């Protein structure tokens, strides 16, 4: 990101998730959101991979210069945290840290399968619930998270028909 970032509180992260809710999320929405993320990342020369999943199906994937196959593995691990906990991967990690522990120490989940590192954010549809996730990998975890949040905010501004 362009400015130094302070670590958001659990309450701030929870507020993001209450705010960034969709009225609908179609294949076309996934494509548009993915392309918006690519544009934002390219503008910063961010070496990221980007993934949009809905109902167990990958609807969008892009790997930008500087990203590696390892980023795809991180995407899968972060997305599984969103699917299991119903919250962004960064928020899940922050909740463990707020309790004085870590996800790795206390979740009892396999670290090769789950990663509570920032970068995956739930696709939450009003009156339906969480149906998928938007995930970025390649930057420090707070920057991955912030890039997804920025893209969701911009997408929901640009697509009022998708906004709750």
Q: What's the gap between Cα 99 and its chain centre?
A: 22
**Beta pairing, strands 120-125 & 57-63:** unpaired
Confidence of residue 6 (pLDDT cuts 50, 70, 90): confident
Task: Specify which residues 92 forms β-bridges with.
Answer: none
**Residue 41 in domain:** yes
Residue 83 has pLDDT above 80, yes or no: yes
Task: Specify which residues 57 forms β-bridges with.
Answer: 54
Confidence of residue 164 (pLDDT cuts 50, 70, 90): confident
Q: What's the gap between Cα 59 and its chain centre?
A: 14
What is the predicted pLDDT for the residue at 1?
40
**Residue 57 in domain:** yes
pLDDT in tens, 58-80: 999 999 999 999 999 999 999 99
For 48, phi and psi rounded to 5 degrees? -115, 160
* CATH number of domain containing 135: 3.30.450.150
If you average pLDDT over residues 6-29, what whole number do you get? 96
What is the predicted pLDDT for the residue at 161?
82
**Residue 163 in domain:** no
**Residue 15 in domain:** no
Domain of 41?
A: 23-158
**Residue 164 in domain:** no
Confidence of residue 12 (pLDDT cuts 50, 70, 90): very high
How buried is residue 81: exposed, middle or buried, by Cβ count under 10 Å (0-12/13-18/19+)?
A: buried
Q: How many domains does the chain have?
A: 1
| Degrees to nearest 5, angle at CA 35 with 44 and 41 | 10
**Residue 152 in domain:** yes
Do 51 and 73 touch, CB atoms closer than 8 A? no
CA neighbor of 146 nearest in space, from 18, 35, 34, 8 = 8
> What does the alpha-carbon distance between residue 49 and residue 26 come to, in Å, rounded to a whole number?
21
pLDDT in tens, 102-139: 999 999 999 999 999 999 999 999 999 999 999 999 99
**Residue 18 in domain:** no
**Beta pairing, strands 49-54 & 120-125:** unpaired
**Residue 108 in domain:** yes
CA neighbor of 16 nearest in space, from 142, 159, 137, 161 = 142
What is the predicted pLDDT for the residue at 4?
52
């Amino acid at each position: 990101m362009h400015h130094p970032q302070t670590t958001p509180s659990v309450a701030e992260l929870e507020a993001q998730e209450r705010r960034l809710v969709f009225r609908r999320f179609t294949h076309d929405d996934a494509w548009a959101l993915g392309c918006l993320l690519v544009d934002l990342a390219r503008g910063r020369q961010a070496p990221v991979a980007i993934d949009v999943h809905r109902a167990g199906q990958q609807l969008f994937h892009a790997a930008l210069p500087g990203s590696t196959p390892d980023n795809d593995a991180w995407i899968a691990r972060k997305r599984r945290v969103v699917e299991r906990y119903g919250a962004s991967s960064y928020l899940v990690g922050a909740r463990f840290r707020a309790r004085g522990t870590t996800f790795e120490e206390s979740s009892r989940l396999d670290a090769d399968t789950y990663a509570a590192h920032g970068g995956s954010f739930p696709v939450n549809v009003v009156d339906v619930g969480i149906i998928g996730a938007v995930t970025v990998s390649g930057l420090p975890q707070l920057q991955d998270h912030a890039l997804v949040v920025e893209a969701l905010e911009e997408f929901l501004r640009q697509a009022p028909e998708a906004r709750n």
